[in-house]
Amino acid sequence: MFNPFEGIGILMHLLLIPYILLRCIAYPFNMIGRLFDWLADKYADKVSF
């Protein structure tokens, strides 16, 4: 007998695994982006464009 809740659980895992992988890949890029934002804020008052 197939349990529909097990099917939902399997689907959730299949969706969750790529999401976690994407988060792990995107996290360092987010940190680099924050670093650039921080540097831009730091030097914005010294450098006028």
Sign of CA dihedral 6, 8, 9, 11: positive
d(CA 14, CA 8): 10
pLDDT tens-place string over residues 1-49: 677 788 888 888 899 999 999 999 999 999 999 999 999 998 887 766 5
- How far is residue 41's CA from residue 39's CA, in Å, rounded to a whole number? 5
CA angle 35, 32, 38 (to 5 degrees): 15
Copy the structure tokens of residue 2.
């197939």
Q: What is the pLDDT of residue 1?
A: 66
Please tell me whether the overall predicted TM-score, pTM, comes out greater than 0.75 for this model.
no
Q: Where are the beta strands (DSSP E) in the chain?
A: none
